Amino acid sequence: MADIHLESLAHSYDPAATSPEYALKPLDMTWRNGETYALLGPSGCGKSTMLNIISGLIQPSHGRVLFDGDDVTGRGTAARNIAQVFQVPVIYRSMTVRQNLAFPLVCRRRQRAEIDRRVGDVAELLGLQRVLNRPAVALTADQKQLVSLGRALVRDDVSALLLDEPLTVIDPQLKFELRRKLKEVNQAFNITMVLVTHDQNEALTFARSIIVMNHGEIVQQGDPQTLFDNPRTEHVGYFIGSPAMNFLPAAQSADALGVLDGQLQVPMTSAMRGSDDLKIAFRPEHVNLGGEGHRVDARVKRIWFEGLDQVLELDSGGTRFRARLDDWRGTVGDAIELRVMDSHLRVFRDGELLEAR
Amino acid sequence: MKTVYLAIKYLAILLWSSFVLFPFLWAVTTSFKTANGVTGGATWIPWLQYEPSLQGWQSLFGGSGGTDITGPYFNSIIVTGSASLISIVLGTLAAYGLSRFTFKAGFIRNADITFFFISQRIMPPIVLAIPFFLLLRQLGLLDTLAGLILVYIALLLPIAVWVMVDFFNNVPRQLDEMAWLDGCTPMTTFYRVILPNSVPGLIVAGMFCLIFGWNDFFFAFTLTFTDTQLLPVAIVALNSSVTPWWSLSASALISVAPLILLAFVVERFLSRGGLAGAVR
């Protein structure tokens, strides 16, 4: 268990090239002991590279990795005591489920009794008791992934548990249950957990701190609420929230910024001047049928039914946007009068959030 | 329709098996014949068509007009067995290294080293006859089992490396990485995780080594004189001005027996599902 510090860390898979392409651009960051993190971002944005550098499977081309201030950059994977679960289940085919779960402890030369106890605990936690004596190859894909996860959880002294999209192969019902169990483990043993995912729901429900990455860079780090309310870039706005944030290109006048034929207006500030890429953005969740806010008239183009809520695609003067409503009943083609909450309007200049508004 | 298909299938298998088994049948009948039985054209049924005799078999074990092949037989088992075993052990270690770690020596890379091993088998063996002869003479190992074992290791090691490099390249690297994460050193990763998953590869490599080693005549012939004889050399020595077809047939059957036995055992093992997928 340790604070993990990445110091001017960067990685290029071809560092000898004259202009190396970075899979991970230079960054400094700290993973606090006992915290839960979610690494969110599209495929190929450097998430897995970062995890593999922490666990030592990849040697970074630049910078250092420190565990509690101790430089481990040159140390092998085994010496770092990191548990990692990959997207694809990895099991030892020649062993039974029990032997698979016990393997990390056997490698550490633990006492027989202790191994039996811990394997029993983990099997109970993951619901694997009944298959303990079966050969691991005979399991289904999601059971195999549970075994992979079990091998990580059976160790109670790990520096961190890195989960590289481990829940992809697991069916949705079990996924929810597993996330809950992981949080339990996190609380019980104070183990740092990093979950890589491209499923924002998974990220938002699992982690206290969310890190959004894109093109090898950390775009924004914060708690779920901050990322939801104040996404730092358009990318984060698209990535967090379902459906994505509405970004509407704004028309500029002398003293105001307007969208939807001037139905939504924001006073012009000095920070907005001098750019022709200005957008007004708001969450579909911040659109209501009544109450406070700017009035917007629109026509319903599509409806997605989502249980209690409905997500509407709306058209106002040729501009499309989305709204999430819980008290509207109607059909495609209906005219609708909406309110957009003023306090939730955001202005993006050149793709980045303007803070002071 | 289905029965017709089935009939054709069985007919094809029947044809093929008789094609394969016919030489064995020929060898079996011939081994029980005498000079008279052999010269009278093809005959198959004992007592009716020819008078069976044990002369061919007796001559293999010190009977008249033959030699005792028990000694060479055990020599062959010792040389082939130990050379194959050593080759598999060394070859597997080398192959794992070549498959998983990066080696550099000037312009030489892993692929070049692997090719170097394979190139040993591309070269015609006769090229090596004189160097081996001189080397063994220097070491005082001509006409000894130890010398033959050394030479056979040199011949069999490339096969083992070749087969195992290919096999290890197909074992997912994630398995190694997982083992490191679970706390294994590279060495324990190899023998605790990778090796138990590589039994099919080891069997294939072992089969190749045993077959090549067992069947080699050339080096067994050029590097020995009278003290140490291997089976193929002893069999050829049975030949004389009047070809003793009966004892040659008997010796052919005896020499092929261990390989047939091996094939049966391995077939049983492989069909039991030793080759199922590794990850997922």
DSSP type of residue B50: B
CB-nearest partner of B276 from A77, A137, A144? A137
Contact by Cβ (8 Å): A36, A203: no
Among B182, B194, B199, B202, the strongest candidate for a mutation testing the A interface, having the largest count of A CBs within 10 A, is: B182
Looking at residue B211, its pLDDT comes to 92
Q: Nearest chain A Cα to B175, which residue?
A: A90
Distance CA A333, CA A264 (A): 22
How high is the pLDDT of residue A23? 85
Average pLDDT, integer, range A70-89: 88
CB-based contact, B12 to chain A, within 8 Å: no
User: Cα–Cα distance between A120 and B75 in angstroms, integer?
Assistant: 53
pLDDT band at B272 (very low <50, low <70, confident <90, very high): low
Q: Which residues pair with A4 in a beta bridge?
A: A31, A67
Q: Phi first, then psi: what are they for A203, rounded to 5°? A: -65, -45
User: CA B37, CA B190: separation in Å to the nearest integer?
Assistant: 59
Q: Is the pLDDT of residue B271 over 70?
A: no
Q: Kindly state the average pLDDT of the residues B43-54.
A: 81
Specify the pLDDT at position B276.
Answer: 45
pTM above 0.80, yes or no: no
CATH 3.40.1580.10 for domain A4-235: no
Q: Which two tokens stand for residue A147?
A: 């075994």
B124 to chain A, any CB pair closer than 8 A? The answer is no
Interface of B with A in 163-202 (CB under 8 A): 172, 174-175, 177-185, 188, 192-193, 196-197, 199
B145-200, pLDDT tens digit by residue? 999 999 999 999 999 999 999 999 988 888 999 999 998 888 899 989 999 888 88
Domain boundaries, chain B: 17-53, 70-271
Exposed / middle / buried, residue B124 (Cβ in 10 Å: 0-12, 13-18, 19+) = exposed
Task: Among A67-81, A162-176, B232-246, B263-277, name the one with the lowest average pLDDT.
Answer: B263-277
CATH class (in words) of the domain with range B70-271: mainly alpha
In this predicted structure, the answer to whether residue A88 has a pLDDT above a threshold of 50 is yes
Is B278's pLDDT higher than 70? no
pLDDT at B156: 93
3-class DSSP string for A234-278 = HHHHHHCCCCCCEEEECEECCCEEEECCCCEEEECCHHHCCCCCE
Chain B hits for A55, Cβ within 8 Å:
181
| Residues of chain A with C-beta less than 8 angstroms from the C-beta of B199 | 94
User: Given an 8 Å threshold on Cβ–Cβ distance, is B196 in contact with A104?
Assistant: no
Determine the Cα–Cα distance for residues B127 and B123; give it in Å rounded to an integer.
7
Inter-chain touch B196–A94, beta carbons under 8 Å: yes
Give the pLDDT band of residue A101 (cuts 50, 70, 90): very high
Answer yes or no: do B174 and A90 touch at CB < 8 A.
yes
Residue A94 and residue B184: Cβ atoms within 8 Å?
A: no
Is the peptide bond between A243 and the residue preceding it cis, with omega within 30 degrees of 0?
yes
Average pLDDT over residues A139-165: 87
Closest CA to B132 of B218, B211, B212: B218
* Banded pLDDT at B275 (limits 50, 70, 90): very low
- The 8-class DSSP code of residue A60 comes to -
Q: What are phi and psi of B277, to 5 degrees?
A: -60, 150
Mean pLDDT over A216-238 rounds to: 89
pLDDT at B130: 92
Interface of A with B in 38-97 (CB under 8 A): 55-57, 76-78, 81-84, 86, 88-95
Q: What's the rounded mean pLDDT across residues A196-200?
A: 82
* Residues A92, B196: C-beta atoms closer than 8 Å: yes
First to last CA, chain A: 42
Nearest CA in chain B to A162: B181
- Predicted pLDDT at B279: 36
8 A C-beta contact, residue A261 and residue A277: no
Residue A257 · residue A273 · CB < 8 Å: no
Inform me whether the pLDDT recorded for A254 exceeds 90.
Answer: no
Q: What is the pLDDT of residues A259-308, one digit of tens each?
A: 888 888 888 888 888 788 888 899 998 988 888 888 888 999 999 888 88
- Please give the residue of chain A at the shortest CA–CA distance from B186: A78
Read off the pLDDT of each residue in B57-82 and give the average, rounded to a whole number: 86
pLDDT at B74: 93
* CATH number for the segment(s) A246-353: 2.40.50.140
Q: How far apart are the CA of B160 and the nearest CA of chain A, in angstroms?
A: 22
Q: Taking CB atoms and an 8 Å limit, are B183 and A107 in contact across chains?
A: yes
Residue of B175, B185, B199 lying closest to A90 (CB–CB): B175
Q: What is the mean pLDDT of residues A40-52?
A: 86
